[in-house]
């Protein structure tokens, strides 16, 4: 019987109590070194392409608005499109992965990104521009949802390190698009259409390893690749207690064996009734709000303060580049802590100080505020790590990732739009920046709650 997308997210089904038979031929063979390298390269290249569609637009937003006749409010809608696409299309990721496998779905997502980035510069009006952006962002959405599952399934003994690699690639792609788009646009003739279209080439390059990973079915049995990815997304999660598993979501035979035990009372874990799931969703939603406001509006804030367009793009790159070193530090540090709330509070304080400086002296202290807000934006790799730590099974991580990211991105949709509306009607940045700072408060509260040392299975 088919299930609806809401069913996929609402319930973590209780597993059968019957033990599974041993795999024929003994335990799985370890992945060959070259296949592991292809997987790691594919993960990094995919991560590099999950933000340029967004951050390449911010530095050129004024030119795009002039070229397409957009008002501030419509531009606010445009900066909310990423979150909307992530919320809507992210819901389809678990079902697609069950049907086609993790590798195939991510490969299709990268193809959608490349196609959307090719079509976007050809748009003759706002509607066409939004539609092409939506296609690219749909591909980003499904890949976003599945990346924590891929890390946990393909690299179960290196969750922290591979999450760091993925987060580093995400930050590098984000920063490179922000810093390089304006100089490339100038070098290629000054057309914003050419400047945005260049990033399609990067997406095409990223497709190469995923064409292999999508087609090669042997890595499902040897290294937990696409075939194993199906079971990671469609597998069942049980309640009950378990002591096995690493801090970053569990690994090894002990965690897997524990995942097969049914809940003592036979109840299913309903993720919509899970305090952990909702805390993660709210935390993810507000950090996404801050990130997409920064990517969409931060260059304009600096430009309105008298900073040049190219320097404003570099400042956005600084905000995003702070995630490169911290992407390695934060996941590993979080994995060693029983409660990640202290990290949430520290990042929140950096954000509040950065917004205060941006309000008081946006141009004079621009570089300092960019660094502070860049540190605050590192809540994203922390959130990814916490998703892996709040469930003990692959299926639990898959469902929690889909729920937290889809609901989180849904919650983040109004933020960039409200900033655009306030900017349009107030004529300045005082009220929008105050709103940004206000968003940090619920982010901190939800993050502290999500950081408690509990898992979905504990709530069964």
pLDDT beyond 70 at 179:
yes
Q: Which residues pair with 11 in a beta bridge?
A: 270
Cα separation, 344 vs 283, in Å, equals 9
Backbone φ and ψ of 142, nearest 5°: -65, -35
DSSP state, residue 14:
P
The 3-state DSSP class for residue 11 equals strand
Cα separation, 17 vs 252, in Å, equals 20
Cα separation, 375 vs 353, in Å, equals 11
pLDDT of residue 425: 86
pLDDT beyond 70 at 292:
yes
114 is written with which tokens? 């490349």
Number of H helices, E strands in the chain: 23, 2
| Closest residue by Cα to residue 162 from 328, 321, 38 | 328
Tens digit of each residue's pLDDT (9 = 90 or more) over 28-81: 444 566 777 888 888 899 999 888 988 888 888 888 888 888 777 777 777 777
pLDDT of residue 269: 64
Q: What is the rounded average pLDDT of the residues 341-361?
A: 95
The 3-state DSSP class for residue 269 equals strand
| Closest residue by Cα to residue 453 from 402, 404, 392 | 392
Cα separation, 288 vs 84, in Å, equals 11
433 is written with which tokens? 């920046």
Cα separation, 385 vs 379, in Å, equals 10
**Higher model confidence: residue 374 or residue 399?**
374
pLDDT beyond 90 at 439:
yes
Band of residue 225 on the pLDDT scale cut at 50, 70, 90: very low
457 near 242, Cβ under 8 Å?
Answer: yes
Strands 11-12 and 269-270: antiparallel
Cα 310 to the center of its chain, rounded Å: 26
Tens digit of each residue's pLDDT (9 = 90 or more) over 233-290: 443 333 332 223 333 333 333 333 333 333 334 345 688 889 999 999 999 999 999 9
pLDDT beyond 50 at 111:
yes
Cα separation, 416 vs 5, in Å, equals 27
Tens digit of each residue's pLDDT (9 = 90 or more) over 293-342: 988 889 889 999 999 888 998 998 898 888 778 877 888 899 888 899 99
199 near 174, Cβ under 8 Å?
Answer: no
Band of residue 363 on the pLDDT scale cut at 50, 70, 90: very high
């Amino acid at each position: 019987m088919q299930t609806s997308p809401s069913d996929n997210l609402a319930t973590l089904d209780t597993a059968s109590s019957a033990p599974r038979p041993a795999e024929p031929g003994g335990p799985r063979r370890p992945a060959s070194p070259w296949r592991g390298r292809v997987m790691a390269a594919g993960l990094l290249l995919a991560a590099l392409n999950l933000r340029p569609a967004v951050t390449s637009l911010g530095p050129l937003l004024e030119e795009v608005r002039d070229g397409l006749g957009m008002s501030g409010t419509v531009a606010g809608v445009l900066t909310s499109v990423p979150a909307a696409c992530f919320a809507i299309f992210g819901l389809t990721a678990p079902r697609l992965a069950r049907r086609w496998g993790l590798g195939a779905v991510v490969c299709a997502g990268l193809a959608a990104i490349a196609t959307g980035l090719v079509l976007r510069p050809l748009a003759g009006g706002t509607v066409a521009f939004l539609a092409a952006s939506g296609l690219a962002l749909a591909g980003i959405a499904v890949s976003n949802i599945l990346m924590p599952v891929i890390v946990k399934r393909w690299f179960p003994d290196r969750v922290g390190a591979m999450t760091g690699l993925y987060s580093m690639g995400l930050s590098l792609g984000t920063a490179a698009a922000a810093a390089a788009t304006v100089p490339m646009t100038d070098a290629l003739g000054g057309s914003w259409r050419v400047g945005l279209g260049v990033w399609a080439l990067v997406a095409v390059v990223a497709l190469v390893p995923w064409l292999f990973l999508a087609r090669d079915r042997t890595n499902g049995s040897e290294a937990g690749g696409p075939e194993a990815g199906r079971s990671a997304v469609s597998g069942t999660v049980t309640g009950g207690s378990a002591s096995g598993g690493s801090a970053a979501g569990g690994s090894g035979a002990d965690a897997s064996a524990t995942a097969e035990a049914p809940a003592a009372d036979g109840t299913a874990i309903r993720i919509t009734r899970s305090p952990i799931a909702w805390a993660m969703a709210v935390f993810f939603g507000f950090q996404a709000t801050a990130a997409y406001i920064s990517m969409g509006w931060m260059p304009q804030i600096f430009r309105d303060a008298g900073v040049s367009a190219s320097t404003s793009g570099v400042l956005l790159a600084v905000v995003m580049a702070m995630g490169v070193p911290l992407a390695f530090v934060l996941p590993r540090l979080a994995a060693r802590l029983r409660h990640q709330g202290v990290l949430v509070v520290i990042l929140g304080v950096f954000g509040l100080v950065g917004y205060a400086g941006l309000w008081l002296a946006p141009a004079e202290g621009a570089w300092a505020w960019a660094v502070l807000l860049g540190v605050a934006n590192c809540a994203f790799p922390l959130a990814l790590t916490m998703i892996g730590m709040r469930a003990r099974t692959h299926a639990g991580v898959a469902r929690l990732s889909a729920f937290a990211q889809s609901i989180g991105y849904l919650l983040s949709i109004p933020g960039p739009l409200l900033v655009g509306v306030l900017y349009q009607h107030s004529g300045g940045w005082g009220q929008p920046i105050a709103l940004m700072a206000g968003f940090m408060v619920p982010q901190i509260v939800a993050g502290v709650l999500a950081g408690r040392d509990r898992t979905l299975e504990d709530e069964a």
